[in-house]
Amino acid sequence: SWQIQTAGLQWLWSVQLPLDEAAELWTLEVSNPGLRVRRISLYPCFTIGYMSWMNQGARHRAELGGIVARSITPYQRLQDYATVRTLKDCTVLLHERPPLAWECRQSQFEGEGGLHAPTALSLPRLAGGQADYETPIAVLQYGLTLAPGARDMLRFVFAPARDDREIAALRARLLGEAAFQRASVAVQTHLQAGRGVLQVSTPDADFDRFVNHWLARQVYYHGDVQRLSTDPQTRNFLQDAMGMSYLCPPRAREAFLLALSQQQASGAMPDGILLHPGATLKYINQVPHSDHCVWLPICLQAYLDESGDWALLDAPVTGTKDGATLTVRQRIDAALRWLLADRDQRQLSYIHQGDWCDPMNMVGPAGRGVSGWLSVALVHALRCWVNLCRQSGDADGIEAFERAAAQTAEAVQRHLWDGEWFARGITDDGISFGVSGDREGRIYLNPQSWALLADIATPAQRSSLLAAIEAQLQTPYGPQMLAPAYTAMREDIGRLTQKYPGSAENGSVYNHAAAFYLCSLYHIGEADRAWGVLRTMIPGPDVADLCQRGQLPVFIPNYYRGAWRQLPRTAGRSSQLFNTGTVSWVYRALIDGLFGLRGEPEGLSIAPQLPSHWPGARLQRLFRGAELAVEIRRRAAGQPSGVRVWLDGVEQAEARLRGLQPGQRYQVDVEIDA
């Protein structure tokens, strides 16, 4: 909603989306707080834009109660007609109250003034024009008289439709006070299901506002509507399900089972997950990527930590392609065996036409290039799976995975350590890249982060690569994905190098990669460094930072512009892209790392990693149906070190809680080192 005060009047312009309808429900409320009668002309204006070179137009339809813009989606092939004739090629603006006048032709409305000062508004009444193969617009005119203290309200529905019958049904179903109220209640109920499991109160009030309201909303959006795709990339689908593990575990469970049902007989995962029978793999999902299997145990670990649903591992999954029924455990075993088979003679993972980094598409098309990041991530995935199998009480056969993890880690050390950091990969022609000898793309963030997550880096290597990240990748807006950004095509790396320096994967502050780094820092206990990464993901709090980023702190974008040393003027600008796997990892980092309230088979482990300048924090944590009021505080200097925990006033023998009951409320007090 937008609240505006101007010319002595107050305006509230709000929109909501019905839960299961493709429509926008708009409400305009105007109030007169003054002491005199006000007479105003009001012009709700909805731009429609150019619709089709084949057929487009618009007119006011009194019998339907609104402006109807019609078009025909262009097509050439005869066989496409059957699809085109079913499309919702009308755009309608339905009004609850008939207007005094209207305009449907954009050029007539704008005149010489343009949209910022339309010529039509200088006339007493809109002309009532229609658009005949012209760019349409939907403008209505109302005359309102408001007594002192009075208010008035207008409602509109803006939506696509197929034909007149559908338009009439839309009006009957959605327009009116009762319909708007039903939609509002349904949406609020739906959003409440994704409210999250954390409410925090910390010394950083701006951070609290973001976490308590906005972050869970963004996580929920990804897991709820699948980025508005019918074939989400498998890695995205699994990581979005990881986020839903905290907000709505049953939905996460469904997602994992759906993904595994589309596993190939070889154990490989498809490049995209089809969400309905008519869906097909499109665009990027037609390009073979090497990494999709690696996300299964990594994302599943978060689900099992949070839900305690260990029965999932033995749930049967019937494949949609071959009809074979295997358990979840067997399918993850098969996925890992596929990854192990997809390595070269050095035991490094092939990259094919890309890994997590989609545009790294020319490193391995000949079948010889390898991904340094995926080789490291494979070690992490194997070790996650071995740990999960042990926790579930079924460790049969994991010795082979343990040996493979050690073997791959050794290969990473032998072939990818460049002296100060790990290389990003090796091309088809045997050229290492992401190494100190490169003029551009000298260092990549992901191999370093995942080497920490996978416990591959030695203590000396850890110090070295952290120093390299600080010196070469860190910016005021977060760590860059690589540096220096590429300024020319490298045909042995791919279209990544063709992207503008500092944009997207070419040296931006790519928040998904920054989130991996964040989790790796908490994994090794670097609390202050981790907080620095986390806080720079969120715009603000100072005005200069907000202006440079050009974004309010209501979501974490896909990336901020990078190439900070090369192009400082534009560095930090938000991509404004809302879809990102970042947020699931950030939510996980808050729970596992910052506040350290991580699930385990029998309960909750407690190991907060607050930044050193915080004296403490309070939070509400929902966990498996129990409600925990948690207060974390630093003890006075000179007292014994370590984490101490009290449950309802009783000190616990260790920093974990067992036997928590659904529906119960608990007070948890935590002391951490000064």
Residues classed as catalytic: 358
The H-or-E segment that residue 668 falls in is strand 665-672
Question: What sign results for the dihedral spanned by CA atoms 106, 112, 118, 124?
Answer: negative
Given a contact cutoff of 8 angstroms between Cβ atoms, the answer to whether 308 and 624 are in contact is yes
**Three-class SS of 40-56:** EEECCEEECCCCCCCCE
Burial class (CB in 10 A: 0-12, 13-18, 19+), 552: exposed
Distance (Å, whole) CA 109 – CA 123: 11
3-state helix, strand, coil in the chain (%, to 5): 35, 25, 40
What's the burial of 1, exposed, middle or buried (CB within 10 Å: 0-12/13-18/19+)? exposed
Sequence-ordered alpha helix ranges (H) in 66-158: 81-84, 106-110
The first and second tokens of residue 665, run together, are: 């409320």
Closest to 99 in 3D by CA, of 66, 145, 141: 141
- Report which residue type is found at 127: A
Distance from C-alpha of 11 to C-alpha of 8, rounded to nearest angstrom = 10
Nearest residue to 334 (alpha-carbon basis) of 397, 394, 265: 265
Q: And the tokens for 532?
A: 């620095």
CA distance 132 to 92: 16
How far apart CA 506 and CA 185 sit, in angstroms, is 44
Q: Is 454 helix (H, G, I), strand (E, B) or coil?
A: coil
CA distance 415 to 409: 10
- C-alpha torsion 191→197→199→205, nearest 10: -80
Q: In 10 A of CB 396, how many CB atoms? A: 7
Q: Which two tokens stand for residue 472?
A: 């070469």
